[in-house]
């Protein structure tokens, strides 16, 4: 889905959709168990809410920058690099993220995987709707198909041109062509 190894604007859109879904799933889960959790272990509940609010603030800042990049690129998202914005969005959820390919360092307190674990431990059922990773297509594959099609068209054109030129020469030279 990358274009020559770089994350694209279209992939950034998919990442935003996935992360919006994660935020929604946490919000839904905490609404379902929050009151009970606060009664059973208020300190753990309050700590989770504090960390969730910090993650949302980090994500909002990264999402705002990503949204500007998407708006500036218009319709050319499949072929425009968005590596730095992609990395910023990843880092808002996983503070130890090392690169745009999702190679993540150790989980830190307040990362989405930490919030997941604590929320699940508190008894929440986290429901997420998966996002189609091919929603916007594959830029590299589209490029390969387009160049392959162009190559076949050129090959056919050259073959046809060769037959025409060969036939014209045969007529000029009076050579009889048989099949």
pLDDT digits (tens, 9 = 90+) for 37-86: 999 999 999 999 999 999 999 999 999 999 998 888 866 656 777 888 98
Instruction: Let me know whether 58 and 22 are in one domain.
Output: yes
| Residue 67: predicted pLDDT | 93
Kindly calculate the radius of gyration of the chain based on its CA atoms and give it in whole angstroms: 27
143 and 118 share one domain: no
- Tell me the pTM: 0.70
Please give the pLDDT value at position 41. Answer: 96
pLDDT(101) > 80: no
Looking at every residue in the chain, the average pLDDT score rounds to: 79
Instruction: Taking each helix axis as running N to C, give the angle between helix 42-73 and helix 83-93, from 0 to 180 degrees, rounded to the nearest 10.
Output: 170
Residue 169, domain extent? 138-179
* In the chain, alpha helices (H): 9-40, 42-73, 83-93, 112-121, 139-173
Q: What is the pLDDT of residue 106?
A: 75
Helix or strand run (H / E) with residue 101: none
Q: Are 2 and 139 in contact (CB under 8 A)?
A: yes
10 with 139: CB under 8 angstroms?
A: yes
H or E stretch including 123? none
Q: Are both 112 and 149 inside the same structural domain?
A: no
Whether 159 and 85 map to the same domain: the answer is no
The number of domains in the chain is 2
Compute the Cα dihedral for 107, 48, 90, 62 and give only its sign.
Answer: negative
Neighbouring C-beta atoms of residue 21, cutoff 10 Å: 15
Judged against a pLDDT cut of 80, whether residue 100 lies above it is answered with no
Mean pLDDT value of segment 126-141: 69
Q: Above 90 in pLDDT, residue 99?
A: no
């Amino acid at each position: 889905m990358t274009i020559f190894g770089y994350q694209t604007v279209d992939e950034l859109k998919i990442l935003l959709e996935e992360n919006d879904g994660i935020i929604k799933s946490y919000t839904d889960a905490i609404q379902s168990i929050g009151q009970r959790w606060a009664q059973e272990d208020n300190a753990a509940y309050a700590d989770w809410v504090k960390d969730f609010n910090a993650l949302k603030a980090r994500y909002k800042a990264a999402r705002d920058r990503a949204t500007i990049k998407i708006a500036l690129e218009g319709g050319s998202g499949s072929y425009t690099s968005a590596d730095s914005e992609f990395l910023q969005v990843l880092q808002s959820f996983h503070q130890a993220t090392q690169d745009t390919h999702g190679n993540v360092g150790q989980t830190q307190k307040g990362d989405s995987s930490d919030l997941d674990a604590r929320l699940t431990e508190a008894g929440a059922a986290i429901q997420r709707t998966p996002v189609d990773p091919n929603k916007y297509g594959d830029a590299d594959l589209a490029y390969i198909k387009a160049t392959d099609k162009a190559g076949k068209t050129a090959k056919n054109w050259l073959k046809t041109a060769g037959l025409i030129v060969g036939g014209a020469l045969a007529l000029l030279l009076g050579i009889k062509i048989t099949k």
